[in-house]
Copies of this chain bind each other. A is one copy, B any other.
């Protein structure tokens, strides 16, 4: 449900247009210096920058720590961090009850919850709920001080050259459309031996969290789908020293589900934002007809831009949990 993790356990709550949202993080070791300002760098990466491809909706996204900190350090008790919602335009969403947006959660949420779900801005399905994951990711990184994370958008709208990304996005915006992208995360410095057979392989736990990030439709580790096109003699990573360093890293730092001490490498496919300004033909449940739908509201033309730090957070959370379990 809305909790994940064995020893580093996070619980998300909140909606896009309700009072607020946040996260409870349990299992943080005591004695780690922590304050709201520690979340700022990652929250800024997630924030709408106002540039093309990101929503003009701006929120201060001020985290407030409600519990778990004493004299500037974690106490071992659960950390609760909340965000208030402001600047919401709830009236934008009324008409979506009868006329749900294609490829959105609108219709499935209404089915699942007998039309009691908070449909405004996607409610609890909103990408805004990932604010709590970013906070948890920042805490996870503090638990893994020797691990450095590096996250890059390696592809937008099928284009691999970063110099063209802005153009691609601007074209999409002009076309009242959206584009997808591919995010690559690398984590260096994780010791060998992290991950638990059979079901809590590094890939299993990381993908579980990453597929929870809205819009992610694919996850691969190391050579991933390309591995399926290689021969064993090409793909195998020979060990070259007593620390287990491998000559190549097609495995993405993971053998048998366990970290091998080399860099963890994964990629996530982020679909194009479902909310597009362009008119779409889709079923209206009130009229019983396929009818044109124009989505109002403010949206990101390329959600992959803002999802990148969330995917990194998901990886950090997975690694912190497995690290604490394996200790």
Please give the residue numbers on chain A whose beta carbons come within 8 Å of chain B beta carbons, in ascending order.
1-4, 6-7, 9, 11-15, 18-22, 24, 26-27, 30-31, 64-70, 73-80, 82, 100, 102-105, 107-109, 111-114, 116-118, 120, 122-125, 129, 155, 157-158, 172, 175, 177-182, 192-193, 196-201, 203-205, 207-209, 211-212, 214, 216-242, 244, 246, 250-252, 255-260, 269-276, 278, 280-283, 285, 288, 290, 304, 325-327
- Residue from B3, B118, B175, B290 within 8 A of A75 (CB atoms): B118
Give A302's nearest chain B residue, CB to CB: B232
- Copies of this protein, total: 4
Partner pick for A203 among B1, B64, B203, B216, CB 8 A cutoff:
B216
Task: Please indicate the chain B residues that have their CB under 8 angstroms from the CB of A288 in the complex.
Answer: 242
- 18 pairs, CB–CB < 8 Å, chain A vs chain B: A1-B26, A1-B200, A12-B198, A13-B79, A14-B67, A18-B68, A67-B124, A74-B116, A77-B124, A82-B82, A108-B244, A108-B258, A108-B259, A204-B209, A207-B211, A218-B219, A233-B280, A327-B327
User: Is there contact, CB below 8 Å, between A180 and B229?
Assistant: yes
CB-based contact A24/B24 at 8 Å: yes
